[in-house]
Amino acid sequence: MNVLLTGGTGNLGSRLLIPLVRRGDRVVIFDLNDQPFIPSEEFDQCKIIKGDLTDRDAVVGAVQNEKIDSIFHLGAILSAQAENERDRAWTINMEGIRNTLEAARLGGVKKFIFSSTLATYGAGLPSPLDIDSPMWPASLYGVTKVAGELLGVYYHHRFGLDFRAIRFPSVIAPRGMLGGAGRFTSEVFLEAVNNGAYEFYLRPDSSIPIVYIADAIKSFLLIHDAPEENLTRRSYNIHARGVTPGELETVVKARLPHVKITYNPEPLQTAMVDSWPHALDDHHAREDWGWQETYDLDRMADEVIATLQNEQDSTHE
C-alpha cells in the first residue's frame, strides 16, 4: 500500500512512519522539512517530497504520481504558535486540508485519516465530555480543526471519500509536541532530565486529558485498518486519563528528586488549556475500532525519562 504522510517529518509523522514501513507499506512524506523530528532507519526507507501544503498542484502531483492509497494528514500549525502567527496558521491549516482533500478526490485515494484535537471543543462543558457536545473552540487552532473535520465529512458525503478523524488530547512523548498549549506534558520531562528544573506556564491544578505517544500511534493504525462498516461516525475522541501539572510534578520528583519545579501561569495559555475538557468520552472509538490505552501515568513517566536519559548518555559518549 502507498501511504502519504503530510507533515511526515514532525513529531507524530516521524513516529507513525516506523510501524507503517515495518508492516510493508511504501511511505511517501510530503513536508517543507526533509529532516525527521525522530530519526530512524525506517525514515531512510521513505520517499521525501519537499513541498508546501498551500501549493495545490504540488499536493495533487504527489498523490497522483505516487499512486497513493491512503493519506494521513498531519501537517498543521499548532495552538500556541497559531495564536502568534494567525495569518500563517489560517493559510496552512485551512488551505492545507482543503488541498489535500481535493488531491485525495482527484487521485482516487481510498482512505483519508485526519489528525484533529480536543481543542475543537470550547469552555464550560461537562466532564467527561460527550463526543457530540457543541464545538465552540477558544483557539484559532481549534477553529481550523473544526473546519477541517467538517470539510472532510463533506468530502465523504459529496464524493464518497473514506474520511476518518481522531481528536487527540495532549500527547506525552520524549521530545514531544512543539508549539501547542498542551506541550507542558512532555516539556516537563525533557527539562527535568536535561536541566534539572521546569517552570509551568499553568496553575498546579490546570487539568488536561493525555495519551502516550505509543498509544496515539497505535490509534492511527487502528482507525485506518478498521473496516468501514464498523464505523458509526467520521470523527472520534480518544484519551487515556486527565492530568494536572501538580500530578506531573509528583511523578517527576518521585524519579528525579533533585528537580526544581515552579509555576508562573501565563494568562493566554492558561485560558486556552482551561477552555479544554478535562476528560473525554471515547467509547465510540473503543467499540468501533478497538481503541484501548496501554500506558498509565507511571509507565509513561518511566519510559519517557528512561528514553531521555539514554539519549543524554549517548550524546556524552
From the candidates 121, 141, 198, 201, give the one annotated as an active-site residue: 141
Beta strands 241-243 and 208-212, pairing class: antiparallel
CA distances from 238 to 80, 84, 111, 280 (A): 22, 28, 20, 7
495559555: which residue's cell?
A: 269
Active site (annotated) includes residue 121: no
Classify each residue of 156-175 as buried b or exposed e, where b means 16 or more C-beta atoms within 10 Å of its C-beta: beeeebbbbbbbbbbbbbbb
The set of residues, in sequence order, having a beta carbon less than 8 Å from that of 312 and lying 6+ positions away, is: 193, 194
CA distances from 57 to 28, 103, 299 (A): 17, 9, 45
Rounded to whole angstroms, how far apart are CA atoms 212 and 112? 23
Q: Where are the alpha helices (DSSP H) in 27-139?
A: 56-65, 79-84, 86-90, 96-107
Q: Looking at the annotation, which residues are catalytic?
A: 141
